[in-house]
Chains A and B, each alone.
Chain A
Amino acid sequence: MKFTLEWMREFVDLPTNDPDEITEVLESLGHEVEGWEPITHRFDGVVIGKVLEVGSHPNADKVRVTKVDVGDEVLDIVCGAWNFEAGAVVPVAKPGAVLQGDFEITQRTIRGVTSNGMICSESELEVGEDAAGIMVLDDDYPGAEEELGSDFSSLLPAGDVVFDVSITPNRPDCMSVYGLARELAAYYELPLAEPNLELPPTDTATKVEIVDDVACPRFVGREVRGIKVGQSPHRIRARLTAAGVRPISNVVDASNYAMIEFGHPTHAFDADRLGDTVVVRHATEGERITTLDELDRALDITDIVVADAERPVAIAGVMGGADTEVRDETANVFIEAAYWNPPSVLMTSKRFNLRSEASARFERGMDSEFCRLAADRVAQLLVETAGGVVAGVVDEYPARPPERIIELPGSEVERVLGISIDPQTTASLLGRFGFDVSGDDPLLVAVPTRRPDVIRAADLIEEVARLYGYDNIPGRLRFGDGQGLPVRQQRLRRLRSVMVGAGYHEIMSFSFIGAEDLDALLLPVDDAARTGIPVVNPLRDEEGVMRTTLIPGLLKAASANLAKRVDDVRLFDLGKVFLPGDGVLPDQPERLGFVAAGGPSQRWDAGAAGYDVYDATGLWAVIAESMEIDGAELRAVDRAPFHPGRAAEVILRDEVIGTVGELHPAVATHHGIEGRAIIGEIEVERLIGEREAWRFNAPSAYPPQVFDLAFEVDSSVAASVLLDAIDAAGSGLVEERRIFDVYEGEPIPAGRKSIAISLSVRAPDRTLSDEDVAPIRKQIVDSVVTATGGTLRGAV
């Protein structure tokens, strides 16, 4: 909310003009100042003058020649505006004056007539938008005539400052100059000026009938007759402009001005287009209204409308109807100032997706006690600015809110704030904010109707603390009873550091993706990852579905990096995916995903190398080792978006916990990734569960027996089968088995391959002799031959 300091001063006589101090005070009260700026003028040397004569120009039809008294002299000025006559008080830029920062006014000759300066319009002076004619000051600034020759800027709010204050949603009472003035008055312990708006309580012909007094506990209608719709005076428009509201017409401006001043929204109907009876009721089935924005809207029976006998004329608290809108020819207006129940307004504005300044205020809760003053203030302004006559008022108040009294025990203040404040001080602090306090302990605090946010003792304690000063409450360092970083967190951090140690960079990708991102993975139609949960209201289609896998984000990231010529990309992501489940909420398992693409460039000491499936399975081995995952196996798998022949699923205790391998070439191409790339995605819960502490194993002090074996097996036999067979044999003495060669080709027959293994056998308690090793070797050979159907090629 924006306002000028000068406007604020109408209600509270602030002891300072220092914007920084006022900012600090407002913030200490909880009203964040977004900023303040002085109102500056970009003109110099403009004085107040009075037009003495207006005559025609001998050589031109479109301009006139004037004589203007500027105090110490009378100037001849040629003027192109026609909105004034002799006697008008006007701003005059004398020769030497500067407008708009750098435009100097000089004596000029216009078609043979010398012009000694310029009579200025608002837009020339940049004090308003009106460029149709010159500014005529006597209408707006009575008394200007006494100041001929004085600097024109003295009429404008001198040295004024515009504040922009952000009002928290719990404080609808502060959405006005008057509301913030009340806060400042409380802070400085100064009186707050009462709005003095007593207007005659004449009855009007219009009757108001309220059908639903919950939706509308009070409705005030004030009639003003004989107005002339036109432009508001400059001073009104200047304040509105400073407050960020665009001036429209004196009727609209009056309503906006009153709202910024006192907070309560009003609506003006053209009284002559409104029937004799106004009814506040629910809309009926099938009823429609064309609103001010020219949209024809279908109403719901839950909507509250203001209607006359024939049709709805406004959606209550949200927007008026076009039929009864004030037009240029409108002479009589009916000003509505009502209290609309917040939930009703909210429901309706939400359904129409129509949030107006008025609805935003009613949603938060206005003050039913203020309706009459609000209507009267608009009426008063219309009398001043539109030449109207106050004609009468109707004030239906069927549901006055009950008085709200809150008990505030002294102990409660101390229990919450940690400081002891005596009840008299508490009562006095609350009194400064306008709470009516009686009793001693507990204090009985009556809450003003303008404060819907204060409903229990805690709310009063905040009021006490605000005025007492948060900074005056001493801090105390207080420790909890926690047992250190939980294991889950420790394990998650370890998992991250494993990936970091392996050379991967962590990214944070969005949790939502586009539906086409899943298509790009070439997933089978029935793949679970295809059923992404839709976002109802995404800002962009690319964010329309919750991710079911981390792979799309990683691929996009890799692709973006390659496109920027980052040629060795290694990324990982650790985050939730969202899958349909049985509960109220989607299943949200945590996943670890990674991608590596491109590869190191050629170096002086080695050739270039890319990534292939063995980098992926090797990375898994590091993860498994570091996270103490024992007993996991890899099994070949054909599953998009992985390469059909170069990927493995990770199986832990008969459960697939992830897949690692090369990216399917077609998916790679789609993402602009050249060459082989590796990806992987693993269920994090299976990696980070608590582990028993590992047990120390004393290394054998005895020498090993090392020997090599080579087997000829069918090409389809997986190495894992062979290694498992070795592990199954060997009497537990095989310390290391390492495949050092895999060979196909002469002299091995086609369809067969040779796998050569180096074995190291060692006993914990003695040196193994050749005689000890022979049976172990035989066991191993037999086991492998049985498992693979292969043959021993003899010691290598």
Chain B
Amino acid sequence: MDPTTSLSEPSETRAVLERLRSDAPVRIDAAESVAELDAVANEVTGKASPIAAGRRSLGKVAPEERRDLGRAINDVAQELDAIIAARREILESAEASAALAGDRVDVTLPGRVPRRGTTHIVNQVMDEIVDIFVSMGYTVATGPEAETDYYNFTALNFAPSHPSRFESDTLYLDYGDVPEDVLLRTHTSPMQARYMEEHEPPVYLVVPGRVFRRDQLDATHSPVFHQIEGLAVDTDITFGDLKGVLSHFAREFLGPNTKTKFIPHYFPFTEPSAEMHVYTNGRWMELLGCGMVNPAVFEYAGYDPDKVTGFAFGVGADRLAMVRHGITEIRHLLDPDQRILEQYR
């Protein structure tokens, strides 16, 4: 059939359109894939379709009929386009679902884990302790690990005869001209004098760091461990402040219901001196040593003990890490076994 000749009559064109209108929807809905639909669409509305032929024939149609016929053609075209679009939507959606249904894997195979390391638990604990004191208005400083006898002992009011000075207790370095003048600091307390020499009061300071003792590494001893020293000096610091601040620290670190008690102790650089014990895991445990700064220490550091008072404390970070995480032996903390380190989450 030659469309250009056979559709020259408007009545014939209308008849063809009517047929198309009744046949095409069935064919469109019969299309089972987007590709099939494209083919059908081409046949019913494409360049070779009766609709296209009808439009081409309009020029030969009498002017008084042309307008009605044109509208009729467009109506059919629009109607079929809508049916095709609806069918397309259905088919596309089905095909996308089918494609996704095939794109399926075993999601329980181990995923690609971005590698992540760990901060050593002792540093985590030290950071945590530092943060508690920073939140109470303390600043942070650190000092040398190889220290002079003066700052480690003398300026802290250790008598020349104090047993800590014995070579059995303290590690000395072969450095400089004076024997036994340079040592590995036995506590972080030397920063008390160093800091006070450099700063005017008031002082609210914590000093985290590594300290040393002449001990063989075993379950309960280590030649290397870690401490946080604290120092508060002002015009009116009292033993009550010491108790309040350190009890607050214990509650922040161990939990809001942590009970504390203070019992007298001895440190050359504090007077009165105390140990703070905390009730944790069903028993009392010594948590830290503390006391009011000994006036002699103020004198060494150049502060007037009649004008200022202060308290100082020292807390062992290693033991706190052990207590909190059930680490039974201190040597585990020095062990670089990655299976241990990976637990320091």
Which A residues form the contact surface with B (CB < 8 A)?
27-30, 32, 168-171, 342-343, 346, 350, 363-364, 415-419, 456, 458-459, 461-462, 465-466, 470-471, 473-486, 488-489, 493, 496-497, 499-512, 533-540, 543, 546, 553, 556-557, 560-561, 564, 566, 569-572, 575-576, 578, 580, 584-586, 588, 603-605
Residues on B with C-beta less than 8 A from A363 are 161, 163
B271 touches A (CB below 8 Å): yes
Whether A502 pairs with B148 at a CB distance below 8 angstroms is no
- Complex Cα spacing A156 to B174, Å: 56
Whether A533 pairs with B336 at a CB distance below 8 angstroms is no
Residues on B with C-beta less than 8 A from A477 are 241, 244-245, 248
- Complex Cα spacing A386 to B241, Å: 58
Whether A458 pairs with B338 at a CB distance below 8 angstroms is no
B192 touches A (CB below 8 Å): no
- Complex Cα spacing A473 to B116, Å: 48
Whether A506 pairs with B117 at a CB distance below 8 angstroms is yes
Whether B130 pairs with A489 at a CB distance below 8 angstroms is yes
B341 touches A (CB below 8 Å): yes
- Complex Cα spacing A580 to B173, Å: 11
Considering residues A27, A506, A546, which has the most beta carbons from chain B within 10 angstroms of its beta carbon? A506
Residues A470 and B118 in contact in the complex (CB < 8 Å), given A456-B295, A569-B338, A588-B145: no
Whether B336 pairs with A509 at a CB distance below 8 angstroms is yes
Contact of B273 among A462, A504, A533, A575 (CB under 8 A): A462
B3 touches A (CB below 8 Å): no
Return A508 CB to nearest CB of chain B, in Å. 5
Whether A537 pairs with B341 at a CB distance below 8 angstroms is no
Whether A546 pairs with B146 at a CB distance below 8 angstroms is yes
Return A47 CB to nearest CB of chain B, in Å. 42
Contact of B239 among A170, A465, A484, A564 (CB under 8 A): A465
Task: Name which of B6-14, B88-96, B256-264 contacts chain A.
Answer: B256-264
B109 touches A (CB below 8 Å): yes
Whether A584 pairs with B272 at a CB distance below 8 angstroms is no
Return A122 CB to nearest CB of chain B, in Å. 35
Residues A566 and B146 in contact in the complex (CB < 8 Å), given A168-B266, A476-B244: no
Across the interface, name the chain B residue whose C-beta is closest to A595.
Answer: B336
Whether A511 pairs with B241 at a CB distance below 8 angstroms is no
Whether B171 pairs with A561 at a CB distance below 8 angstroms is no
B154 touches A (CB below 8 Å): no
Residues A475 and B263 in contact in the complex (CB < 8 Å), given A500-B116, A506-B117: no
Residues on A with C-beta less than 8 A from B175 are 533, 580, 585-586
Whether A465 pairs with B204 at a CB distance below 8 angstroms is no
Return B312 CB to nearest CB of chain A, in Å. 13
Task: Name which of B24-32, B50-58, B69-77, B136-144 contacts chain A.
Answer: B136-144
- Complex Cα spacing A475 to B245, Å: 8
- Complex Cα spacing A578 to B212, Å: 14
Q: Mark B150-189, 1 if CB is under 8 A from A, else 0.
A: 0000000000111100110001111110011110100000
Residues on B with C-beta less than 8 A from A534 are 173-174
Contact of A458 among B131, B236, B292, B344 (CB under 8 A): B292
Residues on A with C-beta less than 8 A from B283 are none
Residues A505 and B117 in contact in the complex (CB < 8 Å), given A470-B264, A533-B173, A538-B171: yes
Across the interface, name the chain A residue whose C-beta is closest to B342.
Answer: A505
Whether A474 pairs with B120 at a CB distance below 8 angstroms is no
Return B172 CB to nearest CB of chain A, in Å. 4
Q: Mark B246-288, 1 if CB is under 8 A from A, else 0.
A: 0110000000000001111110100111110000000000000
Whether A511 pairs with B184 at a CB distance below 8 angstroms is yes
Whether A604 pairs with B130 at a CB distance below 8 angstroms is no
Contact of A536 among B161, B166, B167 (CB under 8 A): B167
Whether A493 pairs with B127 at a CB distance below 8 angstroms is yes
Whether A30 pairs with B266 at a CB distance below 8 angstroms is yes
- Complex Cα spacing A493 to B128, Å: 12
Residues on A with C-beta less than 8 A from B184 are 511, 535
B337 touches A (CB below 8 Å): yes
Return B39 CB to nearest CB of chain A, in Å. 39
Residues A511 and B338 in contact in the complex (CB < 8 Å), given A458-B272, A474-B240: no
- Complex Cα spacing A484 to B130, Å: 10
- Complex Cα spacing A123 to B338, Å: 53
Whether A470 pairs with B274 at a CB distance below 8 angstroms is yes
Whether B171 pairs with A480 at a CB distance below 8 angstroms is no
B119 touches A (CB below 8 Å): yes
Return A472 CB to nearest CB of chain B, in Å. 10
- Complex Cα spacing A381 to B109, Å: 84
Q: Which positions 177-209 of chain B face chain A at CB distance < 8 Å?
A: 179-182, 184, 202, 204
- Complex Cα spacing A171 to B265, Å: 10
Residues A27 and B130 in contact in the complex (CB < 8 Å), given A418-B241, A500-B118: no
- Complex Cα spacing A603 to B112, Å: 10
B334 touches A (CB below 8 Å): yes
Contact of B264 among A30, A476, A496 (CB under 8 A): A30
Total number of A-B contacts with CB less than 8 angstroms? 262
Whether A536 pairs with B309 at a CB distance below 8 angstroms is no
Residues A479 and B247 in contact in the complex (CB < 8 Å), given A27-B263, A458-B292, A560-B336: no
Residues on B with C-beta less than 8 A from A538 are 171
Residues on B with C-beta less than 8 A from A507 are 120, 336, 341
Which B residues form the contact surface with A (CB < 8 A)?
109-110, 112, 114-120, 122-123, 127, 130-131, 134, 136-141, 144-148, 160-163, 166-167, 171-176, 179-182, 184, 202, 204, 210, 212, 214-216, 223-224, 232, 236-241, 243-245, 247-248, 261-266, 268, 271-275, 292, 294-296, 309, 333-334, 336-339, 341-342, 344
Whether B136 pairs with A485 at a CB distance below 8 angstroms is no
The secondary structure that dominates the B interface is mixed
Residues on B with C-beta less than 8 A from A557 are 336
Whether B117 pairs with A504 at a CB distance below 8 angstroms is yes
Whether A572 pairs with B117 at a CB distance below 8 angstroms is yes
Residues on B with C-beta less than 8 A from A500 are 116-119
In the A-B complex, list the 4 residue pairs whose CB atoms are closest, starting with the nearest: A480-B204, A418-B238, A30-B264, A503-B115
Return B210 CB to nearest CB of chain A, in Å. 7
- Complex Cα spacing A415 to B272, Å: 12
Whether A415 pairs with B238 at a CB distance below 8 angstroms is yes
Residues on B with C-beta less than 8 A from A484 are 134
- Complex Cα spacing A543 to B222, Å: 12
Residues on A with C-beta less than 8 A from B112 are 605
Return A416 CB to nearest CB of chain B, in Å. 6
Whether A475 pairs with B244 at a CB distance below 8 angstroms is yes
Return B163 CB to nearest CB of chain A, in Å. 6
Residues A169 and B162 in contact in the complex (CB < 8 Å), given A478-B237, A502-B117, A511-B184: yes
Return B200 CB to nearest CB of chain A, in Å. 12
- Complex Cα spacing A566 to B137, Å: 44
Whether B264 pairs with A585 at a CB distance below 8 angstroms is no
Return A391 CB to nearest CB of chain B, in Å. 36
Whether A418 pairs with B239 at a CB distance below 8 angstroms is yes
Residues A537 and B167 in contact in the complex (CB < 8 Å), given A459-B271, A477-B248: yes
Residues on A with C-beta less than 8 A from B171 are 512, 535-538
Across the interface, name the chain A residue whose C-beta is closest to B226.
Answer: A508
- Complex Cα spacing A168 to B147, Å: 25
Whether A417 pairs with B240 at a CB distance below 8 angstroms is yes
- Complex Cα spacing A479 to B248, Å: 11
Whether B109 pairs with A604 at a CB distance below 8 angstroms is yes
Whether A586 pairs with B139 at a CB distance below 8 angstroms is no
Return A170 CB to nearest CB of chain B, in Å. 5
Across the interface, name the chain A residue whose C-beta is closest to B275.
Answer: A32
Whether A482 pairs with B182 at a CB distance below 8 angstroms is no
28 CB < 8 A contacts A-B: A28-B263, A32-B263, A343-B160, A416-B292, A418-B241, A462-B271, A473-B239, A473-B243, A476-B240, A476-B241, A476-B244, A480-B138, A482-B138, A486-B141, A500-B116, A506-B120, A508-B122, A508-B224, A509-B336, A510-B223, A536-B173, A537-B171, A539-B215, A546-B173, A572-B117, A578-B173, A585-B144, A585-B146
Across the interface, name the chain B residue whose C-beta is closest to A456.
Answer: B295
Whether A533 pairs with B120 at a CB distance below 8 angstroms is no
Contact of B117 among A478, A483, A501 (CB under 8 A): A501
Whether B337 pairs with A566 at a CB distance below 8 angstroms is yes
Return B345 CB to nearest CB of chain A, in Å. 10
